[in-house]
Structure 1
């Protein structure tokens, strides 16, 4: 497993990095759930998203936010974690300066951080937001949302109720020039426990592959 350590705002950050042989391969960073509730880069959803993007030809980086694993610093209410994500993207871009596409994928708390990163970094061309906790965090900063992307959640999510996710998507749908694709996995909970994980990953795979194909036409 290719372990990497790279500089973050509060010291080193620990990650896992897989590069493609093609120098212009698309790049993606994967963001993990809440650090104070056991979230790490080895969370099952994050781990599987990492390999889903890798198998689609992306160079991929996932990492631990500050204070998690070997990453230095302390939890910072999402403010510092956003800075960590920006540093991770800087690191990934520095190693892949010819990448034509840049994606961010996040799960739960990581989805909230990922959407904020999207607002700050115009080079991000697509996003995947898995189980965004619209009931816990304010997503009103997405005005307007700068990129098309996929929002995916489970119909039986008790952590982030589906109604809140639908409301979030409806607000994003009102914006011109972008397309927010929303998929709700029937019967799945917040963490996409089996047998729902494969279905969620297949939806991600199908969506991202379609976007990449459209961009090369």
Structure 2
């Protein structure tokens, strides 16, 4: 899988790009957890999401936010990181101009960034939000949430407590025209440590496959 360097708002951004042979394959970007707490594109959840999407036929890009790894710049409280995500999506779209479907998946801090990107990019057709930190960050900008997606978390998450996630989901599910699916992995912590990674990825894959099937009918 080729390492890529592409332009971001504060200099170069480092990523891993995994294309499909089909020119019209769907595309997905994967967003990593908090840069100041060790989050990188090589985080286990991010890595597993990346390969899950590729196995489902997506051309996939994951990358390091500014100041992480070989990406230039420094942490910017989420504002700059959202710009980084937009640049990553621009880059991915420029390489895949025939793609009909575009997804964003994010883990923890990356889930928060991904949902903001969703609000700014109407071409995003689906989202996966893993362990969204609804206790730490304000998600009220999702009014209305522009596309359907899956929110998934663990019942033993102490970083982003399940009660806050359920409150977020219930607000989103009141909105018309979209369907926000919620799934909880019994006993899983914030990071889906074994044996919980496999059922989490399986749930994500089942959801995405179902959506892709619905879209091709």
Shorter-chain TM-score range: over 0.9
CA deviation digits over 1:119-170, x for unaligned, max 9? 0000000000000000000000000000000000000000000000000000
Once residues 107 and 205 of structure 2 are traced to their aligned partners in structure 1, the CA distance between those partners, rounded to angstroms, is 15
Measured in 2, the distance between the counterparts of 1:41 and 1:2 equals 14
Match of 1:22, SS state, is coil
Q: CA deviation at 1:46?
A: 0.1
Which residue pairs with 2:98 in the alignment? 98
Per the alignment, residue 57 of structure 2 pairs with 57
CA displacement, residues 39-87 of structure 1 (integer Å, 9 cap, x when unaligned): 0000000000000000000000000000000000000000000000000
Determine if the alignment matches structure 1 residue 173 to structure 2 residue 204: no
Question: What is the CA–CA distance in structure 1 between the aligned matches of 2:174 and 2:204, rounded to whole Å?
Answer: 23
Q: Unpaired runs of 5+ in structure 2?
A: none
Unmatched runs of 5 consecutive residues or more in structure 1: none
Distance in structure 1 (CA, Å) of the matches to 2:2 and 2:91? 15
Task: Report the equivalent of 1:24.
Answer: 24
- Between the aligned partners of 2:172 and 2:181, the Cα distance in structure 1 is 10
List 4+ stretches of structure 1 deviating above 2 A: none
Instruction: Give the match for residue 164 of structure 1.
Output: 164
Distance across 2 between alignment mates of 1:177 and 1:67: 38
TM-score by length of 1: 1.00
Superposed displacement of residue 91, structure 1: 0.1
Q: 1:8 deviation in Å? A: 0.0
> What is the CA–CA distance in structure 2 between the aligned matches of 1:2 and 1:192, rounded to whole Å?
27
- 1:90-113: per-residue Cα shift (whole Å, max 9, x none)? 000000000010000000000000
CA distance in 2, matches of 1:148, 1:190: 23
Q: Secondary structure at the match of 1:104?
A: strand
Q: TM-score, normalised by structure 2?
A: 1.00
Identify the residue that residue 200 of structure 1 maps to in structure 2. 200
- Could you tell me how far apart the structure 2 residues matched to 1:59 and 1:15 are? 13
Task: Using the TM superposition, give the Cα deviation of residue 180 of structure 1 relative to its aligned residue in structure 2, in angstroms.
Answer: 0.3
Q: What CA distance in whole angstroms lies between the structure 1 residues aligned with 2:144 and 2:106? A: 19
**Separation (CA, whole Å) in 2 of partners of 1:109 and 1:196:** 20
Is 1:48 the equivalent of 2:48? yes
For the residues of structure 1 that align with 2:9 and 2:45, how far apart are their CA atoms?
26
Which secondary structure state, in structure 1, belongs to the residue aligned with residue 62 of structure 2? Answer: strand
Shift of 1:216: 0.2
2: CA distance, partners of 1:57 / 1:105: 15
